[in-house]
A and B are shown apart, each in its own frame.
Chain A
Amino acid sequence: MFKSIKLSPTELPRSVVIYVDGEKVHAHAGQTLATALLGAGTVPFRKTAVSGAPRAPLCLMGVCFDCIVEVDGAQSVQSCMVEVREGMRVRLPSGARRVEAAA
């Protein structure tokens, strides 16, 4: 849904690999998970608990909660508020969050 603008070779950030529902996605160090997913064309980010409607980010500044995904096992993470990390595992949620028994 988003594309990168042209940067000079010296400005290109380090590449980072994350996994979205098991698929490899290339991202840039320093960018938020939400912009990485937008750059990868991920649509939607999630399906709502109420009606299953598709959603993707609206605000990218931590207000709307429409970009929430699962990050490394933690549910309901605002993807616009976390930066990508090498090897980050992302799951796109569908419906209500799971209730898990403690290990």
Chain B
Amino acid sequence: MKSGNNAPSSEERRSSGSFTHDLIILGSGPAGMSAATVAAACGLRTIVLDEQSRAGGQIYRNVTVAPESVKELLGRDYCHGASLAERFEKSGVEVRYGTLVWDVARDLTVTAQQSGRSFNVRAPQLIVATGAMERPSPLPGWTLPGVLNAGAAQIALKTAAQVPDGKVVLVGNGPLLLLVACQLLDGGAAIAGIIETSPAANKRRALKHLTLAATCPKILGKGLRMLWRLRRAGVRFVRHVEDVRIEATDDGQRMRAVSFLEGGAAQRIEADVALLHHGVVPNTQITRLLRVDHSWSDEQLAWHPTTDAWGETSLSGLRIAGDGAAIAGALAAEASGAIAAIGAAVAIRKLDAKRGDELAKSWRSALKHQQRVRPFLDALYRPPEWLVDCADDTVVCRCEEVTAGRVRDMARLGCEGPNQTKFFSRCGMGPCQGRMCGLTVTQILANTHHRAPNEIGTYRIRAPIKPISLGSLAALASAPNQTLQKKEFKS
């Protein structure tokens, strides 16, 4: 395999000079759009690849074509994406939408698929701006139809002007949960309750970060306004709950209620749709594929690829911008995208280092401002311990239907890491390739073995990082950049 250990060294490959571009950017969310705009201004021959059919990423999904009434409902923060997308489109950067990146080699050759055919692009600099995904919320019954992530409901609103039909409950915690609740209210959904899972101790822990967070009054103000809005609408709030379960209808075909313990007393709210949310986590599929350094963040309970001040990882030329490095939000992503692009321009000598420092200065202060509120939010909305101490009957791996109990059994039998439990049970081996169970399995194994997640590790990710057809692969052989392919394998 190209990404294997027998491949020529990255230095050997990079000296061959057969680049298609100066810079490749994966993803056109806030980080990718910002990086591309800055890179174009620096004169870099840039290409952006995105799996979606339009620019915006998830946060600004569909912003270039959303109807006015949807935009109004989603608010000013969403509309900010439209101006960013406009600058991105005007930059003249080459963009390929509907393009699935399924491999990245250590020499930064990117293999992607568009319209069922695979092709390669190659540049000395690569910015991964693939953002975040919602943290999985492994609750008993979370595989039932009618249970979605809160972000999914927001995507339905952004892309199809739809809201859940019937009674909706929101379960979990975090700013997005409140935002989605407000937007669904405005969209005419019937909210039966917000079941908040933050333990009471979170507030105390968050309090010590409040002084720093208070230097961003606008951000805190947004949160308070959302809470007021929901209170005024008379939405039922249940707090500090435990033991949340989703109940199925008698025929087992969909959900019908959410049950939980409130102050030790059993409660139940009937609903047609449950929306789960426990914050977002970096999508590390590509950085894991490339085996760069990662470390476990105890604050964000997720893996962070290690990056320097210019977003560069432990692999030279590979940079991460936006929430894919650590969760800091869309405005921070815009800043870190610009910084990574400046770093790329300096690295390939399209920009003088001193000029790079100057250009990055205002972006750095914007980034720092956004990051100041993070310790407070991370502490206030830390997912409860019980979320990963889930009941034995909870399905952890949705694809292969492996339960938490089975993972614990394997741990007791001597499995020390996720790659062993995967080998014995297929946990993490289904089509999602561990995206939905990776964090949970690491945390369950860490808890069972009384060891740190850093010692437990995570799945080894291999290409293709999403399923592709053999026909798509075959297209590589007849691609115009075939010579590049041959040269690479010879060297």
Tell me if B253 and A51 are in contact (CB < 8 A): no
Interface on chain B toward A: helix, strand, loop, or mixed SS?
A: loop
Tell me if B149 and A2 are in contact (CB < 8 A): no
Which of B68, B149, B163, B398 meets A3, CB within 8 Å?
A: B163
Task: List chain A residues, Cβ under 8 A from B162.
Answer: 2-5, 35, 38-39
Which residue from chain B places its CB closest to the CB of A77 in the assembled complex? B467
Task: Let me know if B160 is at the binding interface, CB within 8 A.
Answer: yes
Tell me if B253 and A1 are in contact (CB < 8 A): no
Task: List chain B residues, Cβ under 8 A from A32.
Answer: 159-160
Which of A3, A39, A56, A65 meets B432, CB within 8 Å?
A: A65
Q: How far is the CA of A48 from the CA of B159 in the complex (A)?
A: 27
Q: How far is the CA of A80 from the CA of B152 in the complex (A)?
A: 10
Interface residues on B, range: 35 or more
Tell me if A61 and B143 are in contact (CB < 8 A): no
Which residue from chain A places its CB closest to the CB of B401 in the assembled complex? A50
Q: How far is the CA of A32 from the CA of B159 in the complex (A)?
A: 8
Task: Let me know if A81 is at the binding interface, CB within 8 A.
Answer: yes
Q: A56-B146, A57-B148 are in contact. Are A83 and B53 (CB under 8 A)?
A: yes
Which of B58, B69, B272, B399 meets A7, CB within 8 Å?
A: B69
Query: B466 → chain A, closest Cβ, in Å?
Result: 8
Task: List chain B residues, Cβ under 8 A from A7.
Answer: 67, 69-70, 161
Most buried by B among A3, A31, A57, A58: A58
Tell me if A2 and B165 are in contact (CB < 8 A): yes
Tell me if A2 and B152 are in contact (CB < 8 A): no
Q: How far is the CA of A70 from the CA of B144 in the complex (A)?
A: 20
Tell me if A1 and B160 are in contact (CB < 8 A): no
**CB within 8 Å of A: which of B107-161?**
133-134, 142-149, 151-152, 155-157, 159-161
Most buried by A among B68, B133, B166, B398: B398
**CB within 8 Å of A: which of B140-199?**
142-149, 151-152, 155-157, 159-166, 187-188
Which residue from chain A places its CB closest to the CB of B395 in the assembled complex? A53
Which residue from chain A places its CB closest to the CB of B62 in the assembled complex? A30
Tell me if B156 and A5 are in contact (CB < 8 A): no
Task: Let me know if B226 is at the binding interface, CB within 8 A.
Answer: no
Query: A77 → chain B, closest Cβ, in Å?
Result: 10
**CB within 8 Å of A: which of B281-304?**
283
Tell me if B431 and A59 are in contact (CB < 8 A): no
**CB within 8 Å of A: which of B32-83?**
51-53, 58, 65, 67-70, 73
Tell me if A28 and B431 are in contact (CB < 8 A): no
Task: List chain A residues, Cβ under 8 A from B147.
Answer: 58
Task: List chain A residues, Cβ under 8 A from B58.
Answer: 61
Task: List chain B residues, Cβ under 8 A from A8.
Answer: 67-69
Tell me if B157 and A5 are in contact (CB < 8 A): yes
Tell me if A68 and B436 are in contact (CB < 8 A): no
Q: How far is the CA of A54 from the CA of B398 in the complex (A)?
A: 12
Which residue from chain A places its CB closest to the CB of B142 in the assembled complex? A58
Task: Let me know if A62 is at the binding interface, CB within 8 A.
Answer: yes
Tell me if B148 and A60 are in contact (CB < 8 A): yes
Query: B65 → chain A, closest Cβ, in Å?
Result: 7
Tell me if A54 and B254 are in contact (CB < 8 A): yes
7 nearest A-B residue pairs (beta carbon): A56-B145, A11-B67, A35-B160, A60-B152, A31-B160, A65-B431, A2-B162
In the assembled complex, 19 residue pairs joining A and B whose CB atoms fall closer than 8 Å, in A order, are A1-B145, A3-B162, A3-B163, A3-B165, A5-B73, A6-B69, A6-B188, A8-B67, A35-B159, A39-B162, A43-B253, A51-B401, A53-B143, A58-B142, A59-B148, A63-B133, A63-B432, A64-B432, A65-B399
Interface contacts beyond A8-B67, A11-B67, A45-B145: sample of 14 additional A-B pairs, CB < 8 Å, sorted by A: A1-B164, A1-B165, A1-B166, A1-B272, A35-B156, A36-B160, A39-B162, A43-B253, A43-B254, A50-B400, A56-B148, A60-B155, A65-B430, A81-B52
